[in-house]
Amino acid sequence: MARKKNKASALPISPCYAVYLSLDQSADPDAEDDDIETSSICSSESNVSTNRSELQSNAKAIADLRTELEHTSMELMNPRPASRITALKSIHKVIQKFFLDLDSEPSVVNSISLNLESVFKKGVDLEKLLACSIICSIVVQVGPDLTESLLRNYKALLQHYVKDNSLQPSLRGSAAVALSVLVWQAPEELDPETTKEILTLLANVFKTACLKGDGKSPVHAEAMCNMQVDAISSWMRVLISAPGDLGAELGEAAIPQLVSILQNVNVNLRIEAAEALAIVFELIREEKRVHYQGPYYKQILIHLDDLISESSKAISKKDKKKQRTSLRPVLSSIRTQDHPEVRLKLGNEQLLLDTCVLNFYYESLCDVLAQSVNNHLLFNPYVRDMFDLGPPVKREDQANGENKESKAQRQFVHQIVSKDRHINRQYNRNKKASFQNRFDE
């Protein structure tokens, strides 16, 4: 007789995630991890508003989150991988979602960092992937001292992961991103030799996407292509952070490889290589030669023109549109030295992206912070400093004044529309009744 299978018991929700869910009822734990037991959420605080701006302005709620983060980081020492994964997802979700002012309690970051070292030593690949994401999310919201400490602790380990060909491509790509974000946010520029070492390491990863000796594009699995894309974007972050004119010098040396990748069969690699070329040209023109073109200039313009006007039936309409939209500003920047301006509204402010570097900064933050990037642009002083936005906006003004005004405006418009609708309906009813009366007579 077959033994009846017992239903797997659900993992208890971590304290940090419980508090997070009490702050944002729109978060669905089942969307992230089906093993989380949502029934335990009832122990959370219930008097906190669900509006994200109001949550961010609630100092007590943010302080509670910091405390719970430190407690949850202890779960990373749990012998069960499933429990560690749940804790890692909880920590990443909260750090990514809110600016937590972690500098006010360095012990929280130190505790998480210490326990992440254990994850890197004995965790499975998924745990290490999440650990890399957590490092990125922490670095963009802490000051120079904590960033320097994280860089010192993880630089060698992440370099080893990027270099190790025996690891999964997804883990190598995540390690490359984490390493580059640490260098990008470092308070002081790395010395030239260390910068060259990291750039060479990353270039060795993406150069496998270059054309082969016979002039044909290599064909790799999707996971390998994603790793190469991560390597190019990481290379750009380190290049921008290079001291003096070293970035322009090393970027110019890499132009032949990037031109070769422009002809790769993978659309994401082509787009990433084109954006890297735009940044390299911008750095050279700012730091060395204002009207730089170089020996590959005409070839680059021809390739970009061909990609923008791509008509091959072998490429999907979706990829053609994505390629066309991404490469037009790149072509404009390289050809005319004029990057199209992009203006993003942030409450009562505007964020102007008018250079390739600023646009890349914003895209990098979107990769790290996902949908929470606007929240950090409003309240995170380190993120705001990247774009010269000045000190953070007052949380009370952002959470209350603007929302009340927009709500009143919406109500007024709704009243006007409702009144017009009522008048029109009444007119049509009267007209219909008059017609029926004449017909009856």
pLDDT tens, position by position, 62-105: 888 888 898 999 999 999 999 999 999 999 999 998 898 898 88
Mean pLDDT of the chain: 82
Listed residue (172, 168, 167) closest to 201, CA to CA = 172
Reduced to 3 states (helix: H, G, I; strand: E, B; else coil), residue 128 is helix
Reduced to 3 states (helix: H, G, I; strand: E, B; else coil), residue 215 is coil
d(CA 77, CA 110): 15
293: in domain: yes
CA atoms within 13 A on the CB side of 393: 22
Return the pLDDT at 44: 34
Quick one: which H or E segment has residue 6? none
323: in domain: yes
Q: Which residue has the higher pLDDT, 323 or 1?
A: 323
Task: Give Cβ neighbours of residue 297 (< 8 Å, ≥ 6 apart).
Answer: 334
As a residue count, the chain comes to 441
Return the pLDDT at 438: 55
279: in domain: yes
372: in domain: no
Residue 344, pLDDT above cutoff 70: yes
**Residue 292 is encoded by which pair of tokens?**
């730089």
Listed residue (62, 72, 59) closest to 115, CA to CA = 72
108: in domain: no
CA atoms within 13 A on the CB side of 239: 33
Listed residue (169, 72, 85, 139) closest to 364, CA to CA = 139
Q: In terms of C-beta distances under 8 Å and separation of at least 24 residues, what long-range contacts does 321-324 make, across chains too?
A: 322/267, 322/271, 323/267, 323/270, 323/271
Residue 40, pLDDT above cutoff 50: no
Going by their DSSP bridges, the two strands 342-346 and 349-353 should be labelled as antiparallel
CB atoms within 10 A of CB 288: 12
Residue 133 Cα to chain centre, angstroms: 10
Listed residue (383, 393, 347) closest to 137, CA to CA = 383
CB 31 within 8 A of CB 53: no
Residue 411 Cα to chain centre, angstroms: 35
Quick one: which H or E segment has residue 398? none
Residue 407, pLDDT above cutoff 90: no
d(CA 103, CA 139): 11
Q: What does each C-alpha distance from 229 to 8, 103, 222, 226, 271 come to in angstroms?
A: 38, 32, 10, 5, 9
Give the range of the structural domain holding residue 230, as residue numbers without chain letter.
189-340
CB 137 within 8 A of CB 177: no
| Residue whose entry in the numeric block shows the structure tokens 């680059």 | 300
Return the pLDDT at 419: 67
Task: Indicate the pLDDT class of residue 371, thresholds 50, 70 and 90.
Answer: confident
What percent of the chain has pLDDT above 90? 55
Burial class (CB in 10 A: 0-12, 13-18, 19+), 175: buried
Return the pLDDT at 50: 40
pTM: 0.80
Residue 239, pLDDT above cutoff 90: yes
> pLDDT tens digit string along 256-297?
999 999 999 999 999 999 999 999 999 999 887 888 898 999
Burial class (CB in 10 A: 0-12, 13-18, 19+), 169: buried
49: in domain: no
Task: Indicate the pLDDT class of residue 204, thresholds 50, 70 and 90.
Answer: very high
d(CA 19, CA 256): 51
252: in domain: yes
Q: What does each C-alpha distance from 112 to 66, 67, 211, 259 come to in angstroms?
A: 11, 12, 42, 41
Task: Give Cβ neighbours of residue 75 (< 8 Å, ≥ 6 apart).
Answer: 14, 83, 84, 86, 87
CB 18 within 8 A of CB 69: no
47: in domain: no
Residue 4, pLDDT above cutoff 90: no
Residue 1, pLDDT above cutoff 90: no
Mean pLDDT across 305-324: 88
* Radius of gyration, CA atoms only, the chain: 26
Domains: count for the chain = 1
Q: Residue 347: left (phi > 0), alpha (psi -120 to 50), or beta?
A: left
